[in-house]
Chain A
Amino acid sequence: MKELRILYLYPDILELYGDFGNIQVLQYRLEQRGIKSTVVPYSIGDTHPDFNDYDLVFAGGGADQEQGILAEDLLKYKDNIKKAIKNGVFFLLICGSYQLFGKYYKGVEGNIIPGLEIFNYYTEALADRKKRCIGNIVINTNLNGKETKIIGFENHGGQTFNIDTPFGNVLFGNGNKFGDKTEGFFLDNVIATYLHGPLLSKNPELTDYIIKHCLDRKYNDDFILEPLNDEFEKKCRKQLLDRFLTN
C-alpha cells in the first residue's frame, strides 16, 4: 500500500481559522484512493523530527502572542529544513508560518521576530493594528502548466515584500499587501500563502497537485490520480466564483 507521511508543525499553536482542515482534506483525498496517510504532529517539547523523513510538511497560522514563542523553537531546525526543501519535500505554509519562513517579521512596535531566512521575502505589520487584509480572495495560479483559480479567505495584518515567485495573481481580494497584484510564494515544492478557508477545501485541483507531487517524488513515477466525486466542490466553486468575480 502506498503511503504519504505528513509532518504537522505546532498543531496546538498554529491552529487558527480552521487550517487543520487542510490536513483533513489531504487525508480524505488520499484515503479515497487507497493511499495511506500518516500524520505526525510536532510541537514544542516533542523529540526532534528529521524533516527529510516526510513527504509533506504542513503548518498554519496562529495568534501573535503564541507565534513569538514558537519562532524561537523553529530556528533550531533551520539547516534541517533547508536540506529537506532541497531534497524536494513538499512544504505547505499558511499565514503565520508563511511569514516565519522569510527573513523576519517586524511587529507593530517595531520589534523584530527573526525568520528562518530560507526565502528572501520579509513581512512588516501595519502601524494601525486594526487595519488588516480581511476577506474572500480569488487568485489565478499555474499548476503544472494549467491555469487554476484558487479560492480562499485572507486575514492578515502583515504586509509581505520582496516576492519574486508568487503563488498567484490576485483576481479578487488583496494578496501579499493591501491592494496587491500577487499573492503568496511558490516554488516547485513550496507553497506559502495567506489563504485560509481552509485553502484545500475548495481547491481540489491544488490538493491533487500536492498529492501527485509527493507521490511522484517518493515513488519516482508519474502518477495519474483517480478522479473523485467532487460534485460539492464543483458547485461550491461555481457559486463563489460567480459571486466574487462578476460584479
Chain B
Amino acid sequence: MKNFLIILIMKIFYFILKICGKKGGNLLGKIAYDWNPNIFSYFKVNCPVIAVTATNGKTMTNNAIAYTLKMAGKKVISNTEGNNMETGILSTILKHCTLSGKIKADFLVFEVDESYVPVIFEEFNLDTLVVLDFFRDQLDRNGEVESLILRINEFLKTYNGNLVLNNDDPNVARLGKANPENNHIYYFSVEKYKYASKNIKEAGEGKFCPFCNSRIEYQYYQYSHIGKFKCPNCSYGENEIYKLATDVNLKNRTFKVDDIPYQIRFNSIYNVYNFVAVISCVSLYNINTKIIQEALAKFVLNNGRLEEVEIKGVSTIINLAKNPTGANVSLRILNEDDEEKELLFVLNDNIADGLDVSWIWDINFDTLNHVSRIITAGTRAYDIAIRIKTSGFDQDKIEPYLNLNEAVKNLYKTNTKKYIIANYTSLQPTRHALGL
C-alpha cells in the first residue's frame, strides 16, 4: 500500500479514536507497521531527533527533556505516554506528520526501549542518544543483559551523533568506545552523595572489564552498581566529565551543575542522575540555563513514578518498580524517612512484567526503617510475602491478598503514612483501586 494512504487511514482512525476518548497507545503504529515495515524511511525529518534509552528512568528523563525544550519555546513531538517500542514511536509520528510524511517540529524526543534502539534508528537519523543505565530487566524478553549491550554497541560503531552516557554505570560508559572516530561523546556523573557506600548493597551487573576481563574496582557505590569505578588494568572508566552534579542534598531536593543550583521535585539519588542527563542533553542545544532551572523546578510526573498524593487524608507515595533497582530506589526513599509507615507491594507476573518474579530476591528488604505493617497483593502476592518474611520482617505483620481491592481496603484501615510499590502491569490497577 502507498505510504500516504497508510498515513491517511491512520489519521482518520486516530480522529475516530479521539472522538471515543481513546489514546490508541501502540495501535496506530502496529497497523501501519504491519502494512509496511519500511515506513520509517518515508518520513522526512528536518529537525534533531533525540532518543533516551535505559533500563530504568527512560520516561522520567525523556519527558523532562521534552518539557525543558518546550519551556524554551520549541515545538516538540515526544512519546511522553511511554509507548517506547517501534510501534509506539510510529504511532507518535503518525499522529503528527503530514500526508507526505513531513514532520514539522523543532525536536523529536523519544524514549526507546533498549532492545529497539538499533531497529528504529537504522533508517532514522538520530542526533543525540542518551543512555542512562542497564540493569536486569525483563530477561525473558531480551535475553541476557550482555547481549543487549552488545547489540547497542554494534549499532554505535557506525554512529557519529551525540552520545550522552552515564559515566558511573560500567555497562553504559563502555559504549563510549564503540566508535573511536566519534568525538561527540559526553559523559555525565554525580558526585558521591550522603548514602553512598563502600560495598554494594543491591545486586548489580558488570563486574568485569569488557575490554580486558579484569575485575572492576569501585571507590564507592551510589546505588546498585552505579558508582565511581575503574578498571585497574586498562583505566577503563576514567573519562573527562561533561556535566557533573555536585552538592547533592536529597532532603532539600537540590544539587549543582557547573556551580549553578537546581531545585527538583524528586528526592532520590536516582532522579539526580536522570536530571544531570537532561541537563547534559539540552545543553548540547544551547538552552538557556535559567530555563533549565525553571523547567526542572516545575517538572513532575503524575503516573505512579514517585507520585505523592493524599488518599483518605493519608499521605501516600506510589512508585513503579519493574525490577530490583526500581524497588530498591523506593525502599531507599522509605528508609531515609524516619516517620512510621506501612508498605503495600503489588506484584503481578503477566507477560509484560516478565513471567519470572525471582527478581524480588534481589530487592534489599533488610532493616526496614519504622515499617509497622506490610500488605502484599497481585497475582504473586504470596511470592512477595515469602520474600519479605525470609528477609527477617515479622511474619505476623505481613498480610497477603490476591485481591487488590481487598488489599487497598485493609491498607487504609490505619492512618499511618503509606508507601506503595507496584510493578509494571499492576501500577495502573493499583492507582485505580486507590481512586486515582
Contacts and interface: CB of A to CB of B under 8 A. Distances in A.
A41 interface: no
B361 A20 contact: yes
B383 A202 contact: yes
Contacts of A3: none
Given A28-B390, A134-B355, A201 B145 contact: no
Interface stretch (B46-54, B136-144, B403-411): B136-144
Nearest to B150: A65
A12 B356 CA distance: 21
Interface of A: 12-13, 15-21, 24-25, 28, 44-45, 63-66, 69, 129-130, 132, 134-136, 153, 155, 196-198, 201-202, 229, 231-233, 235-236, 239
Interface in B368-414: 382-383, 385-387, 389-392, 395, 398, 400, 402
11 contacts: A13-B207, A17-B358, A18-B360, A25-B390, A63-B144, A135-B355, A136-B355, A155-B139, A155-B140, A155-B356, A201-B390
A63 B145 contact: yes
A232 B385 contact: yes
B321 to A, nearest CB: 15
Interface in B159-204: 203
Contacts of B362: 18, 20
A69 B209 CA distance: 12
Nearest to B205: A63
A21 B213 contact: no
B359 interface: yes
A88 to B, nearest CB: 27
A48 B412 CA distance: 54
Interface string B214-238: 0100000000000000000000000
Contacts of A153: 355-358
A19 B206 CA distance: 17
Which of the listed residues B139, B144, B389 has the most CB atoms from chain A within 10 Å of its own CB?
Answer: B144
A239 B358 contact: no
A216 B147 CA distance: 44
Contacts of A45: 215
A37 to B, nearest CB: 13
B122 interface: no
A232 B399 CA distance: 10
Contacts of B4: none
Contacts of A232: 382, 385-386, 389, 395, 398, 400
Contacts, number: 91
A64 B382 contact: no
B146 A63 contact: yes
Contact of B358 (A24, A198, A231): A198
Given A63-B145, A236-B382, A18 B402 contact: no
Contacts of A19: 358, 361
Contacts of B391: 24
Contacts of A25: 390
Contacts of B390: 21, 24-25, 28, 201
Contacts of A13: 207
Contacts of A134: 140, 355-356
Contacts of B140: 134, 155
Contact of B361 (A18, A28, A135): A18
Given A21-B390, A201-B383, A235 B400 contact: yes
B211 interface: no
B382 A239 contact: yes
A115 to B, nearest CB: 20
Given A18-B361, A20-B361, A45-B215, 17 more contacts: A12-B207, A18-B358, A64-B146, A66-B207, A69-B208, A69-B213, A134-B140, A134-B355, A136-B355, A153-B358, A198-B358, A201-B386, A201-B387, A201-B390, A232-B395, A233-B382, A239-B402
Contact of B139 (A17, A69, A197): A17
B215 to A, nearest CB: 8
Contacts of B387: 21, 201
A27 B436 CA distance: 41
Among all A-B residue pairs, the 7 with the closest Cβ atoms: A18-B361, A236-B382, A21-B361, A18-B358, A17-B358, A232-B385, A28-B390
A80 B315 CA distance: 58
Given A129-B143, A201-B387, A196 B382 contact: no
Nearest to A136: B355
Contacts of B144: 16, 63-64
Contacts of B395: 229, 231-232
Contacts of A129: 143, 147
